Structure 1
Amino acid sequence: MKEFKEVGRPLKRVDAFDKVTGRAKYCYDLLPTDHLVAKMVLATVGNGRVVSIDTSEAEEIPGVVGVYTCFDPDLPQQPFGTAGHPWSCDPGHQDIQDRNILTQRVRQYGDVVAAVVAEDTVAADRAVRAVKVEYEEYPLELTRFEAVDRPEDFPPLHEARPNNIIAHVDNRTEVQGGYETVEQILDDPQWHRTHIEVKTPRQSQAHIELCLSFAYGEGDRIVVVSSTQLPHICRRIVAQALGRPWGDIRVIKPYIGGGFGNKQDILYEPLNAWLCEKVGGRCVLLELTREEVFAYTRSRQPKECHIDAAWDDDMNLKARSLEGWSNQGSYAAHGHALMANTANSFRQEYSAKELAHHGVATTFYSNETCAGAMRAYGVPEGNWAAEVLMSDIAYDMGWDGAEFRLNNFMELGYKDPFWPGPLCCYSRGIDECVAKGKELIGWDEKRAAYKDQTGPVRRGVGMALFSYKTSVAGLSLETSNVRMHLAQDGSIMLQMGATEIGQGADTVFSQMAAETVGVPTETVHIVSQQDTDVTPYDSGAYASRQTYVAGTACRKVAEELREKILDYAAFLNPKRQGPFDMRDGVIYDVAGNEVTTIGEVSIQSYYHPTNAKQIEAQDGINVQENTFAMGACFVDLTVDIPMAKVTVNDVVEVHDSGVIINPKTAEQQVHGGIAQSVGMALSEELLTNPKDGSIRNNNLLDYKIPTMMDLPDLTADFVETYDPTGPYGNKALGECPCIPAAPAVRDAILNATGVKFYEAPMTPQRLFEGFKKEGLI
């Protein structure tokens, strides 16, 4: 593996001091004092149409500037898509455009039918309550059976898709072994066979900072300051929604207090920009409440998968099939991409020994709240399906689950047969991950100690593997641009289009730039705020793409800057023999003798009497390659059967994410992801009221995320392979940690009790019902 100096340093975050002292400027910190406040009038039915809106009482409330409804003659009528995907010039590859700024056609409880702008929050809240809305109601279509097998005597949710099917995909791999179909393999009596049906929940991102933006006029343009993961895409979508040239919109992204995919959709910024237009360019703040964020932004798609599998006596999978359904809710947002990721990850992970695989995936509209991107983008659901299957087979056959999984795991050189571009396993450290995880958790000892337990309280140990693609290269555009220049004192000014949203991106970008230029990281100063008027283009934070894609751009630009610095050093020292080299900010000649320093070069470059120039570089890249990260999670827990209570005692997660750029920030990423996955396993689920489609538990009291009291000390470790496609041998890490802990918890519960659970989260109620059914209670 290549040796690095700055890459791999366990540095503290470059934004740590500003954040812990409160100096970091988040969206709300930049808000002008003379702003107006906007509040939304949200639909109180789950399916229907607005018949009339009476705003007269609201308009009389002191402090109200205006009340604007879905019947406003100035309301832009063109629908737009909200998903934060790169724009495609091919209409067939564009996101579904099915959302309006305000809507007469109500498709979910909480659709925005009107909005109020007032001088303060009190007046705005009073006005919202005073608006009277009359609806024509339609029967709710919440479940797969209600939405897909819908009656024909009332309007569809979206006219373009009268059957509510957003997309349906049927993929079959090439069949081997003399068979003609996957079904023939599954039906062959020489193999063992099983059928299972699994479900995963509507999970909330539960980020700390609320969803908010403020908008104000600037000349003939609108400036939107937003807590968004992708400012350049936000600019485009706001402009499309308003029907204005893209250059009319300027988006500023300050520090972000978390997003986890929820801020990968452009939710209410178009409404905010339109309200700003309506009040003549005055600054308008639109901030959602915590309850609104839970209920009316985005969530993980709830999914159901039916699985068939066949295997032999030698731990070899022979064939698998998956039929999956994803309940997208009221609007397409990211559409079928999430369910496709679920089905793809299920197929990819255990692809080594199969003779064939068949996957069918369907995404449908319903009157549920709209789902969207959440950390790992559909893969936790596919991993739950794959790992529950592997867990059941290993348990029923009496096999070591780790050995069985490794025997079938994706092999080095694997290429996905359905990915439009190269998606390959270029580096593979899964065996080392499992070996290290087994040692850290005490796998063999605990499996022996926990065998044949009886009694009401039992211990269990479980595990799960995962694989995860790095970026969306090969399927969608992966481009990034970077700007660097040399300051007068020899420090490096770095501006990335890629965004820091709390994950530590600015720190690793600084290390990457320092590594390639040849200076200490401490002398690199990165601009955390993005401004679409001046920041180079980048798609933003999603898909674990930034250190891979934007990191490649960062390295390219750093190489260009380094060459320009060395060229100028040669100009200043014509008698010294080149080529020059630079290490730790010191420039050496070909013989290894010190020539000058970057500080001397920089000051001369600015103030040289005949050759003054700012040494700078700006460039971009298109990444075409894509690779797999992978890893293993091990869990030790205690099950109190009569209390239907699970206590997690220990979690060990080991990742192959290639070269680790910063071990400290990487460890923090893993710890946070484990917590989210344990939440998916045991407690996190947004609950829909079947009477009206509203969310029942839209607050931090009733929506149960794990706290410090619910988690043990977490162990994160790494197996460092060198991936040839990564800019520094690195590959995905950001989303990976939230994938495998949930099925590992499930595997440990099975190990402890012998009871199989198929629906996440495994809440006390579901645990009680399962234990009772099996005669343990």
Structure 2
Amino acid sequence: MQTEYAVVGASPPRRGLADKIRGEALYTADLKQPDMLYARVLRSPHAHARVVKVHTDAALRLPGVQAVITHLDVPHVRIDEDLLPLDPIVRYVGDEVAVVAAENEVLAEDALRLIQVDYEVLPAVFEAEAALQPEAAPIHPQGNLVGGGELVVVRGDVTAGFAAADRIFEGTFRTQVHAPAGMETRAALAAWEGDELTVWKTSRAVHANDRQILSQVLGIPQERIRVVCTHMGGGFGNKDESRLPVLTALLAQQAGRPVRLEYSRAEEFVAGRNRQSSVNHLRIGVNKNGAPTAVEMCSVMNAGAYVSTGIRVTRRTGQGPLYLYTCPHARYEGVTAYTNRSAGGSFRGLGAPLGHFALEVLIDQIAEAMEMDPLDYRLRFHVSQEGQPGERTTPLEELIPDEPAEGGVPFSSNGLHECLLAGAERIGWRERRQPHGTATGPIRRGLGVAMGTYKGGVGRDAEAEVRLTPAGRVVVHIGNVDVGQGSTTLLAQIAAETLQVPHHVVDMVMADTAHTPPAHITAGSSTTITSGAAVKLAAEDAHRHLLDHAGAPGGDTVAMMTALPAEIAGTGQVMSGSTDYIINTFMAHFAEVEVDMLSGRVRVLRYVAAHDSGRIIHPRMAQNQVSGGVLQFLGIALREELFVDESSGVTLNPSFLEHKFTSIVDFPTIEVLFPAGPDPLGPYGAKALGEPPVVPVFAAVANAVANASGVWLHEVPFTPQRVLSAIREQGRAAA
């Protein structure tokens, strides 16, 4: 895309990449402190039990063991609304019971085997529907219904909308539990110096989560706590929401020495946070022309043992059904249940892929029944720039939600139409797509399309400081974490563009609470639109101070900087969002697949992803973001699932061998398009990009399979067994 900018829109080398390639980048598990101890976690063998007594004497007598902590040794202060540092009730197989710190890892493992625990085993439940039955044993004192009730979001009157419909379509769609499985497992290193604490950890929120939680639980001021994230080996929204930093800090405090605790790969699968499973029932009413008159979806989400971001996952599931198609009447009801599975949590896209899967597959079924091309249906009925019909309900002075339900509010920009047309042209939709289910033979090919919308990071507060030095360097201080998406590079580009300096003279200081202003969590695809805006404001402020000092209206910025007697600083603070517009990103994905009607195997042959993310700051990284997200979710669409033995609660496949992921040989190159223009509200016209690529993937593949085979898949993953089962049930046999 052509721009009028010098740095924004270019693709300078990604910062830190060379160190990672050479193996010189230091992750948390690479860090060491003098006299450091190694920690390990004793985990529950039961899915649900009361810890009656923990016998630690034998472990403490083992030479080299320096500390053992149980629930009796921790503050009774919650890390989250349902999570204590350690709890006398364990709620899944793998829940934390005790932690030990020893001189080396082998001793720590030996100490775990010496700890004896007396348990009172309690009834366990693993499925959300069963957990919500009146007779189900309560997993938490408040019961198994998270929040005590349903989450309900409404626009218009769906009863009236369905009464006005000429036809009503419905279906039930299921998605599985699966693991983010970043290359880096969780780790934390804690060290005390007097009454001051430093924690290095895998984190996406050194300020907003870690330092606040440590202060709250340990009862010490935030000013005495420093949290640092050196590098992140794949965040995907998942590297938080655990007891890890608190337990490491408590062990270090008890032992009087630094302590490092690192999860094994199996622990990451079991005790890390995974995307919860869902059951989504969707109804759509349409008039005789196919226009939606009412959309209603009910979701039941399995949050596992602890809710974490479970409610936000549930709400995000409803975003597409509520808003992707123009419709005056929409209702979403979400129910989130505690179960005795390992805890669910954040994962790229939260619930959006789940809800869009149901919506976009049912839309294809509607188009087929109405004898319309699925592309034409979407071009005709997708939500437009004007937003939904109806009246605004948000007060005029308040920010418009980026997961809206109300009508009467336009989008700041909406390139969905352009994405549909560009993607269709690239994949050859008009020329190559066969009518639904008309392919013949044992090996059949088909094309599928799915759209998506995603939130834009509204309501996050960001601060930045930009310092200009006499050495001719620009130093940006911002508390965000680069979770692997390249924000270090992108934010430097924004600073360089604003100051009109080369990208290479900008230095970034990030993810260290001792040297950066407070920052929001790196989540919700909000870094560019929120932190980028704060960096732009801080750079503009610094530039004003520089011009004031120079006494001139302009000139070469670097030359003016080298004439400074001392460094000068600019600051910026922003609350992202708009009181007048919805800020959302949009996308349209197209898949070509091959279906073996005899074995049920699905192969993805080609994939085109067209995105409206406003102006693209760094084209190469943006293409990588999209292709990486698509590849990640193609693996989830076709094979990835965490299995639990429902007689014991044991996770059956906690390894890369048994929980197989996408590899480079599995799928084709992803073709990425950015056909839309800049957004008027984002910094330099940018909008969110990190999570949107994962949103339509399930549906695009399912719709391509349906086009090839004539059968509709309503459950992810699309394994050969499920494909064959659908072929049998829907009466399609290989010709």
TM exceeding 0.5: yes
Can you list the C-alpha shifts for 1:82-114, whole angstroms capped at 9, x where unaligned? xxxxxxxxxxxxxxx211111111111111111
Report whether the alignment pairs 1:556 with 2:517.
no
Q: TM-score, normalised by structure 2?
A: 0.94
> What SS does the corresponding residue of 1:269 show, helix, strand or coil?
helix
Report whether the alignment pairs 1:192 with 2:167.
yes
Where does residue 334 of structure 1 map in the other structure? 309
745, 748, 751: which is aligned to 2:707?
751
More deviation in 21-30 or 645-654?
A: 21-30
Report whether the alignment pairs 1:483 with 2:469.
no
Distance, in Å, in 2 between the alignment partners of 1:393 and 1:491 is 58
Alignment of 1:174-573 (within 5 A): 174-175=156-157, 182-188=158-164, 191-232=166-207, 233-280=209-256, 282-350=257-325, 352=326, 354-414=327-387, 421-423=399-401, 424-448=410-434, 452-473=438-459, 478-527=460-509, 529-570=510-551
Where does residue 48 of structure 1 map in the other structure? 49
695, 709, 712: which is aligned to 2:668?
712
- Structure 2: 5+ residue stretches without partners: 402-409
Distance, in Å, in 1 between the alignment partners of 2:545 and 2:100 is 55
Distance, in Å, in 1 between the alignment partners of 2:471 and 2:225 is 35
Can you list the C-alpha shifts for 1:146-184, whole angstroms capped at 9, x where unaligned? 2111427x5x22213465555412232124xxxxxx234
Report whether the alignment pairs 1:131 with 2:130.
no
**1:64 CA displacement:** 1.7
**1:417 CA displacement:** 5.7
Q: In the alignment, residue 146 of structure 1 is paired with which amino acid?
A: A
- Structure 1: 5+ residue stretches without partners: 82-96, 176-181, 571-577, 582-586, 588-596, 607-612
**1:646 CA displacement:** 0.8
**1:568 CA displacement:** 2.0
Distance, in Å, in 2 between the alignment partners of 1:119 and 1:720 is 57
> What SS does the corresponding residue of 1:433 show, helix, strand or coil?
helix
Where does residue 675 of structure 1 map in the other structure? 631
CA contact (8 A) 1:237 1:266 kept: no
Distance, in Å, in 1 between the alignment partners of 2:251 and 2:570 is 39
Can you list the C-alpha shifts for 1:34-71, whole angstroms capped at 9, x where unaligned? 31011101011111201122223333333222322223
**1:29 CA displacement:** 2.9
> What SS does the corresponding residue of 2:707 show, helix, strand or coil?
helix
613, 617, 620: which is aligned to 2:570?
617
Question: 1:162–1:371: structure 2 CA closer, same or farther, 3 Å change rule?
Answer: closer
Where does residue 132 of structure 2 map in the other structure? 148
Distance, in Å, in 2 between the alignment partners of 1:485 and 1:67 is 45
**1:713 CA displacement:** 1.3
CA contact (8 A) 1:462 1:744 kept: yes
Distance, in Å, in 2 between the alignment partners of 1:675 and 1:197 is 26
CA contact (8 A) 1:510 1:524 kept: yes
**1:457 CA displacement:** 0.8
**1:455 CA displacement:** 1.6
Question: 1:162–1:449: structure 2 CA closer, same or farther, 3 Å change rule?
Answer: closer
Q: In the alignment, residue 518 of structure 1 is paired with which amino acid?
A: Q
Can you list the C-alpha shifts for 1:282-340, whole angstroms capped at 9, x where unaligned? 11011000111011110112111111111123231111111111111111211311101
Distance, in Å, in 2 between the alignment partners of 1:193 and 1:206 is 40
CA contact (8 A) 1:27 1:254 kept: yes
Can you list the C-alpha shifts for 1:467-495, whole angstroms capped at 9, x where unaligned? 1110142xxxx111111111223221112
**1:735 CA displacement:** 0.6
**1:545 CA displacement:** 0.4
CA RMSD of aligned residues (A): 1.9
CA contact (8 A) 2:144 2:337 kept: no
**1:124 CA displacement:** 0.7
**1:397 CA displacement:** 2.7
64, 82, 107: which is aligned to 1:98?
82
639, 642, 653: which is aligned to 1:686?
642
**1:552 CA displacement:** 0.8
Q: In the alignment, residue 549 of structure 1 is paired with which amino acid?
A: T
Where does residue 407 of structure 2 map in the other structure? none
CA contact (8 A) 2:296 2:321 kept: no
CA contact (8 A) 1:503 1:734 kept: yes
Q: In the alignment, residue 566 of structure 1 is paired with which amino acid?
A: L
Matched positions, count: 715
Where does residue 584 of structure 1 map in the other structure? none
Question: 1:513–1:165: structure 2 CA closer, same or farther, 3 Å change rule?
Answer: closer
87, 92, 107: which is aligned to 1:108?
92
Distance, in Å, in 2 between the alignment partners of 1:273 and 1:544 is 30
Q: In the alignment, residue 428 of structure 2 is paired with which amino acid?
A: G
Distance, in Å, in 2 between the alignment partners of 1:431 and 1:204 is 33
697, 702, 710: which is aligned to 2:653?
697
Q: In the alignment, residue 674 of structure 1 is paired with which amino acid?
A: V
**1:187 CA displacement:** 4.4
Report whether the alignment pairs 1:157 with 2:133.
no
Distance, in Å, in 2 between the alignment partners of 1:39 and 1:715 is 44
CA contact (8 A) 2:592 2:606 kept: yes
Aligned-pair identity (%): 32
